[in-house]
């Protein structure tokens, strides 16, 4: 059996070596190149491929794999919105993702960045760097004094709730699928409108499905408290970025945490220092003192990377053997 991986980073290689050592019966090939129609030929003779979500996997790309006799793709990440699923279905692909590599990594990142926005740490760090050690006017707010609305109470949302409760914050939550533990605590509200009306901070932890696209928009923002802080470490297309920029300009939104961006593919995980930045809107957001932008790195911990590598390769082997895998994607 042979599994071929694309886009393997240096930080993934120790985890890949560990997996290889534990599976001597599987031949592993890999490249640092991303999967494209041209690079698909490198996987010739393989039973499946392991990939990462940094490029669109178009019909052309999938066809190039199918031409090599490969109809199995295991992602080292959660999102599948970069895959032409209609083409994948037509070509008979099986696809897996890593749905739960480390909920704590993402929840911790959300909590840390939220606290930084409330304490205005970006502004304070800039002052200190200039040796301006005056206190005013960068007075902050305490997490425990906030009502935090958590939209989505899956694995990540539930870990975030625990962290926020540790700070002493009041938490309200909304999810169309109620979790029994959260329900028992009485944290659920009946509607998103109710959550918007109560929350000083709103953190989103929902998938990129049709119903959620641009759920943060002009109309929903108008229902939120003045000065609300928004946290999006889930999916970039949850947010109508132009509407959020307008709300930042007006002061309706007082702070923004974003680890994802609706046009991030081809921009994030690239070095733009000394080059023309390709997105003026994102460039503006990065410069704002009340906005914290990270390039889709909420997940990026040693534990999460190990799980992403190991689980994706496990799924690839299961596919090759014709076995079931808990990480199979239904589409």
- The per-residue pLDDT for range 17-52, each reduced to its tens digit, is 999 999 999 999 999 999 999 999 999 999 999 999
Residue 270 known to be catalytic: no
Please indicate whether residue 288 is annotated as part of the active site. no
Active-site residue (options: 264, 273, 288, 324): 264
- Tell me: pLDDT of 310 over 90: yes
Given 296, 310, 323, 326, the catalytic residue: 296
pLDDT (tens digit, 9 = 90+) per residue, 82-115? 899 999 999 999 999 998 889 999 999 999 999 9
pLDDT digits (tens, 9 = 90+) for 152-193: 999 999 999 999 999 999 999 999 999 999 999 999 999 999
- Threshold 0.75, pTM exceeds: yes
Q: Identify the band that residue 223 occupies on the pLDDT scale cut at 50, 70 and 90.
A: very high
Torsion of CA 55, 74, 85, 11, to 10 degrees: -20
| Whole-number Å distance between alpha carbons of 316 and 17 | 16
The predicted pLDDT at position 81 comes to 82
Q: What domains, with CATH codes, occur in the chain?
A: 2-101+302-321 (3.40.50.720), 103-293 (3.40.50.720)
pLDDT of residue 55: 84
Annotation marks residue 310 as catalytic: no
Q: Which of 20-29, 53-62, 312-321 bottoms out in mean pLDDT, i.e. has the lowest?
A: 53-62
Q: Are 70 and 46 in contact (CB under 8 A)?
A: yes
- What pLDDT score was predicted for residue 27? 98
For Cα atoms 16, 37, 7, give the angle at the middle one, nearest 5 degrees: 20
Q: Pick the catalytic residue: 71, 158, 235, 310?
A: 235
């Amino acid at each position: 059996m042979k599994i071929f991986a694309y886009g393997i980073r240096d930080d993934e290689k120790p985890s890949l070596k560990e997996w290889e050592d534990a599976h001597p019966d599987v031949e592993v090939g890999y490249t640092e190149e991303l999967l494209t129609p041209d690079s698909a030929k490198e996987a010739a003779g393989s039973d499946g491929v392991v990939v990462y979500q940094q490029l669109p996997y178009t019909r052309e790309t999938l066809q190039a794999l199918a031409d090599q006799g490969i109809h199995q793709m295991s992602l080292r990440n959660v999102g599948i919105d970069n895959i032409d699923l209609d083409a994948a279905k037509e070509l008979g692909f099986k696809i897996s993702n890593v749905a739960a590599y480390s909920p704590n990594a993402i929840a911790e990142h959300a909590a840390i960045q939220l606290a930084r926005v409330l304490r205005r740490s970006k502004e304070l760090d800039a002052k200190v760097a200039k040796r301006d050690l005056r206190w005013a006017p960068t007075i902050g707010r305490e997490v425990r004094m906030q009502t935090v609305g958590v939209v989505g109470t899956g694995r990540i949302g539930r870990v975030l709730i625990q962290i926020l409760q540790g700070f002493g914050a009041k938490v309200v939550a909304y999810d169309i699928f109620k979790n029994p533990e959260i329900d028992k605590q009485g944290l659920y509200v009946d509607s998103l409108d109710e959550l918007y009306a109560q929350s000083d901070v709103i953190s989103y932890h929902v998938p990129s499905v049709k119903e959620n696209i641009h759920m943060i928009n002009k109309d929903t923002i108008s229902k939120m408290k003045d000065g609300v802080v928004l946290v999006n470490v889930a999916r970039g297309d949850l947010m109508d970025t132009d509407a959020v920029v307008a709300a930042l300009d007006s002061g309706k939104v007082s702070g923004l945490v974003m680890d994802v961006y609706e046009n991030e593919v081809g921009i994030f995980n690239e070095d733009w220092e000394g080059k023309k930045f390709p997105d003026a809107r994102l460039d503006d957001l990065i410069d704002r003192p009340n906005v914290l932008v990270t390039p889709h790195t909420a997940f990026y911990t040693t534990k999460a990377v190990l799980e992403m590598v190991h689980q994706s390769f496990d799924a690839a082997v299961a596919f090759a053997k014709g076995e079931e895998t808990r990480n199979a994607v239904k589409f």
